[in-house]
Amino acid sequence: MSAAEQRSEPRVDGSLDDVIRNSELILTCGPGGVGKTTTAAALGVAAARAGRKTVVVTVDPARRLADALGLDGSVEADEPHRVKGVTKRTTDGELWALMLDAEQTFDRLVREQAGSRKQADAVLNNPVYQAISGSLSGAQEYMAVERLHQLHVSGDWDLVIVDTPPSRHAIDLLEAPDRLVGFLSHPVYRTLTVGQRTFAKITDAASSMFLWAVKRLAGPQIVEDTIEFFRSLANIEGGLRRRAKEVSRLLRGDLTSFVVVSSPRAEAVGEAEHLLDAIHEKGFPLGGLVVNLIHPLPIELSDDDVELLADLGDGPLADHLGWHRELTHLAQAERHEIQTLEKLAADATVIELPLLDVDIHDVPGLVDLADRLV
């Protein structure tokens, strides 16, 4: 690497080495479009090369990154697949990748919590369940943390890394288990599932109004299906509730690290700030902050050179000068934006990564990024 290139590298403050060696769970979160999935994959590479058996759970990887992880269209969703080409030395661990399938995770959760196959089937075969398991608001977020829990307790893995779904309100993820409990505690839900045997016997005012409203709005069939669904869910409710609490506890435990990923653009910084605040406030363990996609800061021109190059007129050197000025301005403004984030990260590690010439979409690219992270 030339001296010039070295000079234009952003500052690297620390390393996530400690996080990938000592955590059992890592969650990457942050605004969309900042390289969150790539960061999660690179942390996985780093952990595997540090000797740990690691699985990376992703939600919606860009296609070429998915290919690099061996998650192309031909593999089954929701099953871990070994990532090739990452671990070669005998001291290396293993890297596996898994594409989250919210519906399958939900199905598995229902089966685990049901007392019998019959109870499970009653939920799984309900048309309302089938419609909502993939699309219930917050279901994706909850299933991401639920899958994390499943993998964690399986005992198969030293480290589970979950790349959280893109969400402008990334807080949704942190509160997803609590929201499920809230849903199960809703008074209408309670009346619908407790006691009465038939729709006709439901006399509670709020609940009968609810059913009437759904019927008027969406037709009678969906009302029957909804009641059936809530009833069948009642059998597994205790389990769901316990599980949601366990997951919530796990997210706050010592073995978990949150890694917030952002870019230096103002809107991403705003969202990341919001997220860091929430992480502090709700007592989640912050492992580090990665600021990605930072423009390189060019070497400064000396005052003499600037004077020499004043009043150039048009021409190729004017292009050079204009570009140098613009890139310098942008790179400096970005560094200014990042300062706020650094303050909020407090004692956590901050890693600043340059905007690379090409997107990372192969294993060597991930290995290179892994080296920068640890």
- Which residues, 257 to 276, sit near other proteins by CB under 8 A? 263-270
Interface with other proteins in residues 126-155 (CB under 8 A): 127-128, 131-132, 135-137
Q: Are 95 and 56 in contact (CB under 8 A)?
A: yes
**Site for other proteins (CB under 8 A): which residue of 77, 181, 330, 367?**
330
Those residues whose C-beta lies under 8 Å from the C-beta of residue 194, and which sit 6 or more positions away, are 234
**Site for other proteins (CB under 8 A): which residue of 259, 296, 345, 366?**
296
Stretch that binds other proteins, among 32-40, 41-49, 69-77, 341-349 (CB under 8 A): 32-40
- The structure tokens listed for 58 are 């992703």
Stretch that binds other proteins, among 26-34, 70-78, 92-100, 340-348 (CB under 8 A): 26-34
Q: Is 288 in the site for other proteins (CB under 8 A)?
A: no
Q: Which is nearer to other proteins, 218 or 346 (CB)?
A: 218
Per DSSP, the three-state class of 29 is: strand
- Sign for the CA dihedral angle at 32, 33, 36, 41 comes to positive
Interface with other proteins in residues 342-371 (CB under 8 A): 357-359, 361
Q: Is 178 in the site for other proteins (CB under 8 A)?
A: no
Interface with other proteins in residues 67-126 (CB under 8 A): none
85 φ/ψ sector (left φ>0, alpha ψ -120 to 50, else beta): left
Closest approach of Cβ 359 to other proteins, in Å?
A: 5
Q: Is 252 in the site for other proteins (CB under 8 A)?
A: no
C-alpha span between 202 and 104 (Å, rounded) = 33
- The structure tokens listed for 228 are 């059936």
**Site for other proteins (CB under 8 A): which residue of 322, 343, 346, 371?**
322
**Site for other proteins (CB under 8 A): which residue of 185, 212, 242, 246?**
212
C-alpha span between 97 and 353 (Å, rounded) = 24
C-alpha span between 215 and 210 (Å, rounded) = 9
C-alpha span between 104 and 84 (Å, rounded) = 25
